Chains A and B, each alone.
Chain A
Amino acid sequence: MQPVIEMRGVTKRFVDVIANDKVDLKLFPKEIVGLLGENGAGKTTLMNVLFGYYNLDGGKLLINGGEVTFGSPKDAINHGIAMIHQHFTLVQTQSVLENVMIGMEGSFFLNKKKAREKLLGIEKDFGLNLDPDAIVWTLSIGEQQKLEILKSLYRGAKTLIMDEPTAVLAPTETIELFETLRILVASGHSIIFISHHLQEVMDICDRVIVLRSGKRVAERKVSETSIPELASLMVGRELLERLERGEAKTGNAVLEARNLKVRNNRGIVAVDNLSFTLREGEVLGVAGVSGNGQTALSEMLFGQVKPEDGEIHISGKNIPGGSPSAIIKEGMARIPEDRIKTGLFMDLSVKENMILESHVNEPISKKGLINMKEIRSFAEKCINNFSVKTDGMDAPVKSLSGGNLQKVILARELVGKPKVVVACQPTRGLDVGAMEYVHQAMLDQKTDGAGVLLISDDLDEIFLLSDRIIVMYEGKIIGEVSTNEADRDKIGLWMSGVTS
C-alpha cells in the first residue's frame, strides 16, 4: 500500500543541536501512528518540518509517493495536512463558524450561509457537535479542541498531526477525543499522535515510532509491544529513576492556605475555597489534570495574583495577597511554572538573573547602589553549589540549556536555605538528567527541614516525591491521601472528578 506520508532520512539542525537525525516515518491511510519520546526528543520539530514551518536540512518528504517541498504551512495545508497544536490557534472573541472560516473566505464577500451548511455537514459526519454561533471563549478546552479538528476538516485535511492533544484534557474528554479519532480513521483519515503518555499510545495507536535525542530508535506495532518496553525505549535505559523518598519528619506548619478563592481573567472561578497546610519536612504533592486551577493557585502563592478571598500564612504569619515582595521577604522559594516567561530575564546575564529577588537586600545593594563584588561572589556561590553549566556568570542566560536555566532558578531560590518551597511544574520540558537533578533538589530541601509544595501534572513525579497527595479538580481539592496508602486508579478517578 502507498503511504500517504513518507519522511525519509529527515534531518533538522538548529544552531548547534541536531533536533532530528535521519528520521524515517511512514503513515498509511486509515492509520494512527504514535510519535513517542521525551520532552526534547525531537517530536515537535519533526512535525514542524512536516507541516512546513521548518526547512529540511536533509532527507525527503513524500506525499502519496510524490516528493514535495514545503515552504510554509500553507503548502502543507494544500496537501491535506493539518496540525493541531497544544496551544490552540483560535480567535477567542469570535464564533465557532467565524473561526472555521478564517483564511477560507474565498472572496471579498463572506458567504456565511454556505459555510454554515458545510460546517454542520462536517459536524454531523464526524459526531462533533458544536454550536456554530458559540463564542470561542465560552467553550471548554475539550470543545475548543473539537473546533480545531473541525477547522482542519473544513479545510479538507486528510492527515491530522496532533501535538500532545491529551495534555490539556480531563480523562473523560480524552475518551471522547479518542472516539472522534476512531471515527476519523474509519472515514479514511490518517493521524499522527504525539504523546509521552504510554497508556494513551497503547490505547489509540496502531503503530508507534519512538524518538530519542532526535533519532528514531524503534518502531513497534502496538499489538506487539508493552508499556515497559516502550518506556525503556523512550528513556534509553531499563529503569526510570529510583529515588529514596525517605520518611517525612513533619514539624510546624510553614505554609497554610485558608479558603483561597480567585477568578481567572475570564471571570470564571479558578480556585474555590481551597485550604491546605504544609509542614516542615514533608513534600505535599498537588496533582490534577492541567487547567484545574493549579496555575492560579501557584500565582496566588507566589504573590503574582491577589486572592479574591482567603488568606496565605507563612510560618504562622498572615501575608498580604498579591505582593511578590511580601512573599519573598518571608523567604519562600518560588519555582514558577514558566521559567522563561516568569522566572528569568533572558536578555540578561546569569549573574543578573541570580539576584532577581535579592537585589534590594544588603549586601547585594546598599542605599540604592548595587555592589558588583557582592553580586559576583553570590553568583559564584550559586553556580558552584548547583553546578550550573555556563560559560561563566557574565554569559547571557539565554545561552544556557533548559535544564541549566532551571538550575539558575533553583540556585537563586534555594541557596538561602528556605523554610518553604513552592514548585510549579518544576520539570516541565526538562530532559531526564535535569529532571533527576530537580527531583533530588526537592528531596534535599525536605531532608533539610523545609516544607515543599509540589504542583505537577505529572502523576509519576507526584508519586515519586510526595509524602502526601492532594488532587485538584475544578479549582477545589477533591481528595487527599498519604502516598503510602494511595491507589493510582483512585487518584485517576479523582483527577476526572469522580469521588465515590
Chain B
Amino acid sequence: MISMSIVKRKPLPGWVILVIPVAAVFVTLLITAIPILFAGGNVFKAYGSLFYGALGSKFNLLETFVKASPLILTGLAVAFAFRAKFWNIGAEGQLFAGAIAATWVGIYFTWLPSFLVLPVMIIFGFFAGGLWATIPAFLKTKLKVDDVVTTLLLNYVIFHIMGALLFGPMQMPGSSWPRSASIMDAAFYPMLIARSRFHFGIIVSFVAILVIWFINSKTVFGYQSRGVGINLEAAKFGGINTGMVILKTAIISGGLAGLAGVGEVAAIHHHLMMDVSTGYGYTGIVIAMLGNLHPIGVALAAFFFSVISVGAQTMGRVAGIPTYIVGVIEGVALMTMLIFILLTEYKIRWTKS
C-alpha cells in the first residue's frame, strides 16, 4: 500500500511567493477547462472570449476596473484583519454600514457646501464600517468571544437594520419597495472617463492599496499588527498593547469595507437598496486569501475575479458557456491557491509499505 504523509519543508526563497499566484491561476484555468469541455464548449474559444470580454476593448477594460473596485476594498479589508488574526468575516455587513451612512449623508446633508459632501460621505462611510467592526473586536479582546462567529452573525443584524430603515425612515416617499430616495447630485462619485462608468471610487480603491501597503511595511502599527497576528503572546511580551492593536485593525478593516459600500451607492446605484452588494464582502475573503493577504496580491486577485466576472458575459454569448462557470472558477482558484500556499511550507511524501 502507498501512504501519503505531509512533512515540513525547508523555507523557500522569497521569489517563490511571487510565482505562486500566477501558477495558481494557470492551474485553475486548466482545471476549469474540464467543466467547459463537459458543457460542450471549445476551451480556447471560451477562454479567448472570456479574456476578450474583460480586456479586449477600452469599454470592457474600464468596466473590469469598475467591477474590481469594491472587490479591492473588501479584499483589503479582510486581508488587513486576517494579517492580525482578527478573523473578520463581516466585510459584507461593514459594507452595508458604509452604504447606509453614505446614503444618509447623500440624502439629508443638503445643507453642506457641495464640495464638502463627498469628503464627508467618505469619512462617514469609513467610520460607519469601522465602528461596526469594533463590536466584534471588543467582544474578542474583552470577553474572548470568537470573532469568526460574531463578525459573521453581525452581517445579518446590519442587513435587517438596513431593511428596517428602508421600510421605515429611509424609504423613498411614495415607494412600496425597500429603497431609499436618490442621493443628491453633489454626492455622486464623478465619472472620470467619458462614456464609461470609470468613477472616482476606483481611484479611492487604488489609494487604499497604497495606504495599506504603506501601513503594513513602513509603520510601527503595521509591525505590531503583524506581530499580534503571528504570535499574540510574544507581542504582549514585547510590550505591545494587543487589545488596542486589534481594535485599530478592526476600524481600518471595517472602514475599508465601508468605503466599498460608499462606492456602490455613490457611483453605481445612487440610492440604497437591499441588494446594494452582490456578496462583495464574502468574495473579499476569497480575494484576500488568493492575494496571500498582501495588498498588491489582493489588487491582482480582485482584478482577476473581475476579469472572470465581466468576461463571463461575453463567454456566455460567444462560446455558449453558462455564466455560472464564474462561481466554479472562483472556487477552484481559491482551492488551488490554498493548496499552493500549503505546499510552500509542507511537502507531500509518498511511502510504500
Contacts and interface: CB of A to CB of B under 8 A. Distances in A.
B239 A16 contact: no
A352 B234 contact: no
Contact of A370 (B10, B218, B231, B351): B218
Contacts of B236: 304, 324
A342 B237 contact: yes
Given A16-B10, A359-B223, A342 B239 contact: no
B11 A396 contact: yes
Interface stretch (B1-9, B126-134, B152-160): B1-9
Contacts of A343: 234, 237
Contacts of B9: 15
Contacts of A328: 238-239
Interface string A339-366: 0011111111000100111011000010
B271 interface: no
Contact of A368 (B11, B219, B241, B351): B219
A360 B220 contact: yes
B347 to A, nearest CB: 10
A356 B238 contact: yes
Interface in A273-315: 302-304
A357 B238 contact: yes
A316 interface: no
A94 interface: no
A341 B234 CA distance: 7
B146 interface: no
B238 A324 contact: yes
A396 B230 CA distance: 13
Interface in B317-342: none
A398 interface: yes
Nearest to B231: A345
A71 B353 contact: yes
A365 B220 contact: yes
Nearest to B226: A348
A336 interface: yes
Interface in B21-73: none
A387 interface: no
A304 B351 CA distance: 45
A345 B5 contact: no
Given A55-B5, A359-B220, A398-B11, A325 B239 contact: yes
B93 interface: no
Given A368-B221, A370-B220, A69 B234 contact: no
A226 to B, nearest CB: 41
B75 interface: no
- Could you say which of A343, A395, A396, A399 has the most chain B C-beta atoms within 10 Å of its C-beta? A343
Interface residues of B, number: 29
Contacts of A239: none
Nearest to A338: B233
A455 B55 CA distance: 65
Contacts of A324: 236-239
B136 interface: no
B239 A345 contact: no
B233 A342 contact: yes
A345 B238 CA distance: 10
Interface string B196-225: 000000000000000000000011111110
Contacts of B237: 302, 304, 324, 334, 336, 342-343, 356
Contacts of A356: 227, 234, 237-238
Contacts of B8: 14-15
Nearest to A323: B239
A399 B224 CA distance: 22
B239 A370 contact: no
A396 B16 CA distance: 14
B223 A370 contact: yes
A342 B236 CA distance: 9
Contacts of A395: 11
- Could you say which of A355, A356, A398 has the most chain B C-beta atoms within 10 Å of its C-beta? A356
Nearest to A366: B220
Contacts of A1: none
A207 B57 CA distance: 81
Nearest to B221: A368
B239 A399 contact: no
A327 B220 CA distance: 20
A183 B295 CA distance: 64
A328 to B, nearest CB: 5
B231 A346 contact: yes
Nearest to A16: B10
Given A345-B230, A356-B238, A399-B11, A69 B353 contact: yes
Contacts of A302: 237
Contacts of A399: 10-11
B220 A357 contact: no
Contacts of B239: 303, 323-325, 327-328, 357, 360
B234 A342 contact: yes
B351 A55 contact: yes
Contacts of A325: 239-241
A369 interface: yes
A289 to B, nearest CB: 25
Given A15-B8, A55-B5, A71-B353, A344 B219 contact: no
A16 B11 CA distance: 12
Contacts of A347: 230-231
Nearest to A398: B11
B230 A370 contact: no
A355 B224 CA distance: 11
Nearest to A367: B220
A399 B227 CA distance: 18
Contacts of A303: 239
A64 B3 CA distance: 26
Contacts of A398: 11
A328 B224 CA distance: 16
A340 B244 CA distance: 24
Contacts of A341: 231, 233-234
Contacts of B240: 325
- Could you say which of B11, B222, B234, B351 has the most chain A C-beta atoms within 10 Å of its C-beta? B234
8 A-B pairs with the lowest CB-CB distances in the bound complex, closest first:
A325-B239, A356-B238, A324-B239, A345-B230, A328-B239, A347-B230, A365-B220, A342-B237
30 contacts: A14-B8, A15-B10, A69-B353, A304-B236, A304-B237, A324-B237, A327-B239, A341-B234, A342-B233, A344-B234, A345-B226, A345-B227, A345-B235, A347-B230, A347-B231, A348-B226, A348-B227, A348-B230, A352-B223, A356-B234, A357-B239, A359-B220, A359-B238, A365-B220, A369-B220, A370-B219, A370-B220, A370-B223, A396-B11, A398-B11
Interface of B: 3, 5, 7-11, 218-224, 226-227, 230-231, 233-241, 351, 353
Given A356-B238, A395-B11, A396-B11, 7 more contacts: A324-B239, A325-B240, A325-B241, A341-B231, A342-B233, A357-B239, A360-B220
